[in-house]
């Protein structure tokens, strides 16, 4: 059991698990139990929580390397996503000042939406590069979490770490996505 690093808002980052424990031990890889979804979900959740620092590192490295290799597409794709997101957010905002601006300038609002949509479609290949940059590492993480079985030592470490797992970044993200920890903590 390692010491968790402390971040702001009482969020903790668990220690990085060893490379041999994370990747190299092929004896602990097994096809997911497709016919038993609760067991499969428990395995994924358990691995996401146990290897969370390793998973964040893998995602960050993949995104950084891919973004450097495709820097122009990344910048253009992100700009298209941000511009369209900002225009849609402006168009759907319920703040009184923005609603009044939309009522006073409906053609400008429509024009901004059309221009942002055109820019998004025009740069769609760059947007796909950005989406690919984000989707591939997430797919790899879910694939690893699905096939990875842990040995007895890691299961014991996980049981010891379980008390502080509720304060980690991955636990907070999973709670945001509506994952119910009650059944997981009981098992």
Q: Evaluate if residue 138 carries a pLDDT over 90.
A: yes
Q: Evaluate if residue 4 carries a pLDDT over 90.
A: no
Q: Tell me: the pLDDT tens digits for 52-77?
A: 889 999 999 999 999 999 999 999 99
For residue 29, list its beta bridge partners: 148
The residue with greater pLDDT, 125 or 186, is 125
Q: Evaluate if residue 160 carries a pLDDT over 60.
A: no
Residue among 129, 122, 121 nearest 75 (CA): 129
Q: 3-state class of 12 per DSSP?
A: strand
Per the CB < 8 A criterion, the answer to whether 7 and 169 are in contact is yes
Sign of CA pseudo-dihedral 155, 161, 166, 170 = negative
Q: What kind and span of H or E run contains 6?
A: strand 5-6
Instruction: Say what the pLDDT of residue 104 is.
Output: 93
pTM score, two decimals?
0.74
* Annotated domain spans of the chain: 52-147
pLDDT exceeding 70 applies to what percent of the chain?
81
Sequence-separated (6 or more) residues with CB below 8 Å from residue 54: 16, 17, 22
Q: Tell me: the pLDDT tens digits for 82-136?
A: 999 999 999 998 899 989 999 999 999 999 999 999 999 999 999 999 999 999 9
């Amino acid at each position: 059991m390692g010491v968790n690093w402390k971040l702001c808002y009482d969020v903790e980052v668990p220690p990085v698990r060893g490379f041999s424990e994370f990747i190299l031990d092929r004896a602990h890889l097994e096809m997911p139990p497709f016919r038993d979804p609760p067991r499969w979900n428990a395995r994924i959740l358990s691995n996401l929580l146990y290897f969370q620092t390793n998973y964040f590192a893998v995602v960050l490295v993949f995104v950084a390397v891919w973004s450097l290799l495709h820097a122009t597409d990344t910048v253009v794709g992100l700009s298209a996503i941000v511009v369209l997101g900002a225009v849609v957010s402006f168009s759907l905002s319920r703040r009184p000042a923005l609603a009044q601006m939309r009522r006073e300038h409906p053609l400008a609002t429509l024009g901004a939406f059309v221009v942002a949509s055109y820019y998004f479609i025009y740069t769609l290949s760059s947007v796909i590069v950005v989406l690919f940059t984000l989707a591939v590492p997430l797919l790899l993480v879910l694939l690893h979490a699905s096939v990875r079985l842990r040995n007895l030592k890691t299961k014991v470490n996980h049981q010891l770490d379980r008390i502080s797992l509720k304060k980690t970044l991955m636990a907070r993200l999973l709670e945001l996505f509506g994952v119910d920890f009650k059944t997981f903590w009981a098992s």
